[in-house]
Homo-oligomer: A and B are copies of this chain.
Amino acid sequence: MNLEAAIKDFHAHAEKVKMYNSAMAVMYFDAATVAPKGGIADRAKRSGFFAAQLFDLITGDKMKELLAALSPHEGRLDPITAGMYRMAKKNYDKHVKVPAAKFRAFRELVTKAQNVWEDARKDDDFAAFAPYLKDIIAASKEMVEYRRIDDAPAYDYLLDDYEEGMTMQIYDEYFGKVRDAIVPLLKGVVESTKKIDKSIVQKPVSIEAQRKIAHYIAGMIGYDHNRGYICESVHPFCNSSSRDDVRITTRYNENDFLSSLFTILHECGHAIYEQSTGDDIAQTMLSRGVSMGIHESQSRFYENVIGRSRGFWEFVTDELKTYLPDAYKDMTAEQFYEAANYAAPSLIRVEADELTYSLHIMIRYEIERMIFTQDIDVMDLPAIWNKKYEEYLGITPPNNRLGVLQDVHWSGGMFGYFPTYSLGSAYAAQFLAYMKRGLDFDGLVKKGEFAAITAWLTDKIHRHGSIYTPHDLVDKIAGEQLNADYYVSYLQEKFGGLYRIGM
């Protein structure tokens, strides 16, 4: 096959991959929102069928042949084809080297384990889950051995799976800085004389009103309703089947309207990223956010950097009150701002505030690191977990439901995933610092001129989709890599000021 023909063929094959991904996104959205309970067995069968079709496209003989044809020319491909080649090759290598039977056994193990975990969590029975966790750890280690191309530690392979280029070395340094800065900062918050009363934003707001608020907030922040749809699901998510069809979901709690408001901002960050892919790649498989860490940086940017800023509340308070019941009529922007930034030690990651969130992640990273580099007994994990919560957050989970059993990730074999959540916050703070070099961020937010902010993010990040590695993408913005200093300064400045620490 000559190069031109190979490229053409490769693009056609990649288009098929995109079509299947797109169809699966629609079916996933349907299943998570409106599909009836009774159809679950047939849906599982169908989704297995399409996953197998897709697996065949990305790991089959055709892909093998195409990658082999392109490989000698790798350095001379146009940027789009090069990006697609990189992505396809990584996917191919990751899946093909593990024997199909091992892969299937692993899928079956984690499917079973997730059910066991659900019950174990409900019953607060870690011992019931432990043998499954042990098997998943062993299988995860074994699967890395099949893929091994160098002598890097197994956990580095897993970290790279969720964020290309990441290693323990990088994360150790990163979390080291986070620990050194946030643990004392949190101590300062706890001991501060400044107290924030969260109850003032917990007066009831009807679901109907919250739906209108969601629509308003999303449109105002830059989400394109004409190429999107907002509805409800048990767990909020962002779902993209094409650049022009990017949906978000949320859930509503009558007594906590801010929870949904921030969920909307969070999912809008993901969605605006997907909606802003450049025309040149919109129809290719590169038309999606490049990595979990970069994706999370966008959701955290809209949720926290913008949404939990003082300027945002100065801009939004009057308009927001037109949707809120009378009980909110005397609230000031400053009161909303403070309530939105209430910080305190807590046990549950998904309910954690902006300040403590990365401590929750750090604990999980440290434990995963132990699991893959030391010979630890899984039955010791609850104690290890609780000790770390005591050490970093100053509180001890009273049971494993509120401790080691709270997250689904390990039962799904998703080791290496957690740290990307924290990366998101760190990158968001880093991008903010870069942005401020050229834009009056605070001034824009205060005036509600979010379009200029999104334009900056689109230019530097969104439009590129997956064309560059996350490493190269970040490097292109300011000639620098992940640097926790920005994140640390951001938190110190914000929470130091709010809680009057050292003043």
Interface residues of A (CB under 8 A from B): 16, 19, 22-23, 26-27, 29-30, 34-43, 46, 49-50, 224-229, 231, 241-245, 247
Q: How far is the CB of A295 from chain B (nearest CB, A)?
A: 20
How far in angstroms is the closest Cβ of chain B from A215? 13
Given contacts A23-B23, A23-B46, A30-B29, contact A39 B231 (CB under 8 A): no
In the complex, 20 of the A-B residue pairs with CB atoms within 8 angstroms, ordered by the A residue number, are A16-B49, A19-B49, A22-B46, A23-B46, A26-B27, A29-B30, A34-B229, A34-B231, A36-B226, A36-B229, A37-B226, A38-B224, A38-B226, A38-B244, A38-B245, A39-B242, A39-B245, A42-B241, A42-B243, A46-B241
Question: A36 — which chain B residues lie within 8 A by C-beta?
Answer: 225-229, 244-245, 247
Number of copies: 2
For residue A247, give the distance in angstroms from its CB to the closest CB of chain B: 8
Apart from A27-B27, A29-B30, A43-B242, list 6 A-B contacts with CB within 8 A.
Answer: A30-B30, A36-B227, A36-B245, A38-B226, A41-B244, A42-B243
Chain B residues whose C-beta falls within 8 Å of the C-beta of A38 in the assembled complex: 224, 226-228, 244-245
**CB-contact partner of A245 in B35, B50, B241, under 8 A:** B35
- A243 contacts across to B, CB distance below 8 A: 42
B34 pairs with A245, CB closer than 8 A: no
CB distance from A263 to the nearest CB of B (A): 19
Closest to A27 in B: B26
Contact of A42 among B27, B228, B244 (CB under 8 A): B244
Given A242-B42, A244-B41, A229 and B35 contact (CB-CB distance below 8 Å):
yes
Complexed CA–CA distance, A245 and B42 (Å)? 8
A22 interface neighbour in B26, B42, B224, B244, Cβ under 8 Å: B42
Distance in angstroms from A44 CB to nearest chain B CB is 11
Chain B residues in 8 Å Cβ range of A50: 19, 23
Give the CA-CA distance A37 to B227 in the complex, in Å.
6
Chain B minimum-CB-distance residue to A24: B23
A31 CB, min distance to chain B CBs, angstroms? 9
What 3 A-B pairs are tightest by C-beta distance, nearest first? Answer: A39-B245, A38-B227, A42-B242
